[in-house]
Structure 1
């Protein structure tokens, strides 16, 4: 599966379109979430453009997949980025108040394992925000932005995947309402057009954003639950 490397991602988020996209996505995630003062926010994928939104009141760390590569962030301080195996994060159990997955799930070879890791590191009732390309919109069809790579999702597909792993969604929206056309002033148009275009339909944005909380009651994630049942019956 082709995915942008860290240099491509960094270059995009320094362009006028990328800077505007980061602002829109960061504002949208902040509206959906509720991070306590001094809490811990973990981003997986390429999260610095949106993690910056939480720096003033939370501890932040950016986990970057080995296949993508890693960069120094933030530029003004000691780096808080870590190169990781997406199936095994160097984060303690129940230690993060929020996990943000961006440029991550759509590239995951084992998305179920990635979500299990997110569930593991979250505190009880901790929050996860998943940002993926919206399969119904132009952003997922054009490869001039990072949202044109990987597997795009529909709301129904993402809801089902998260519900199966004890991360039942409690809200969704989309962002990046203006298509990423090669036009002068596209960055400014993206910022200014976000609210007016949203009035035309909630699902018009190129990025699908789903918010959920960690459930600690009930069944294990589906794969583990099935195996546990088999072992109980067989007496293993």
Structure 2
């Protein structure tokens, strides 16, 4: 079940959402420090994390699943958001260099078709980042969190899922160690908590992140099968035990 796009927008407009946005942006930027000249696409509700790439990438698009809804984005320029079916993306094969999936995989009821579609549109040598609620984190336990709905994963489970759907996991990361609180005092300490969390209790992070590339399999040439000479078979109008036997060619006299 997808979270409604209006609820997601409202969460990221609050103070806790803005802190969440900054912390996740920093982690994603570490994984993708340079996207110059690349085509970047977000699937799900990725708009809070796409903006840093806009002035650097060749093109940035935000694709929002129909079950979630869509809102125009960005506000200050021509719209770059579109409503799509997550299992039928309106993109050509191998047309995306960087694919960011946030607030999508854990909510989709068609996970395998979604990942196959992601594989189709990702360029050979491209990279995909998947952000999901961490199974042992607090963000998956509180309904005030946008990561509450859907199926949470550990980083190992997410990597295994990607591997089973023709992706090669490359790197794993975690983020959001502060609980989804509205306390301004705690939110002001979020950067410190984030640094401590990475060192001391990484398994309790709010989200798991895995970067993956698509698996490309080489074709195997099939051996050429030579045609075998056919034998003449005698047929009879009246079926008999002899019908259908192999008849040798007639002998010729010298």
Shorter-chain TM-score: what band?
0.7 to 0.9
Q: Alignment partner of 1:209: what SS? A: strand
Structure 1 residues 67 and 107: alpha-carbon distance in aligned structure 2, compared to 1, 3 A threshold:
same
Aligned positions, number? 218
Structure number having the greater helix percentage: 1
Distance in 1, Cα, partners of 2:34 & 2:98: 7
Corresponding residue number in structure 1 for 2:55:
56
1:195 Cα offset (Å) = 1.1
Corresponding residue number in structure 1 for 2:245:
none
1:91 Cα offset (Å) = 0.9
Distance in 1, Cα, partners of 2:16 & 2:78: 27
Unaligned runs of 5+ in 1: 220-236
Distance in 1, Cα, partners of 2:92 & 2:218: 22
Structure 1 residues 90 and 135: alpha-carbon distance in aligned structure 2, compared to 1, 3 A threshold:
same
Corresponding residue number in structure 1 for 2:159:
159
1:153 Cα offset (Å) = 0.7
1:168 Cα offset (Å) = 1.5
Q: Is the 8 A contact 1:20 1:191 kept in 2?
A: no
**Pairing 1:208–2:208 present:** yes
Corresponding residue number in structure 1 for 2:22:
23
1:154 Cα offset (Å) = 1.4
Q: Which has the larger radius of gyration?
A: 2
Q: Alignment partner of 2:151: what SS? A: coil
Unaligned runs of 5+ in 2: 220-254
Corresponding residue number in structure 2 for 1:47:
46
1:218 Cα offset (Å) = 5.5
Corresponding residue number in structure 1 for 2:147:
147
Distance in 2, Cα, partners of 1:191 & 1:8: 25
Q: How does 1:109-188 map to 2 (within 5 A)?
A: 109-188=109-188
Q: Is the 8 A contact 1:16 1:186 kept in 2?
A: no
Q: Is the 8 A contact 2:134 2:207 kept in 1?
A: yes
Report the RMSD for the aligned CA atoms in angstroms.
1.5
Q: Alignment partner of 1:61: what SS? A: strand
Moved >4 Å (runs of 4+): none
Q: Alignment partner of 1:30: what SS? A: helix
* TM-score relative to the length of structure 1: 0.88
Distance in 2, Cα, partners of 1:158 & 1:33: 19
Q: Is the 8 A contact 1:54 1:60 kept in 2?
A: yes
Higher-RCO chain (CA-CA 8 Å, sequence separation at least 6): 1
Distance in 2, Cα, partners of 1:203 & 1:51: 26
Q: Is the 8 A contact 2:45 2:103 kept in 1?
A: yes
Q: Is the 8 A contact 1:21 1:190 kept in 2?
A: no
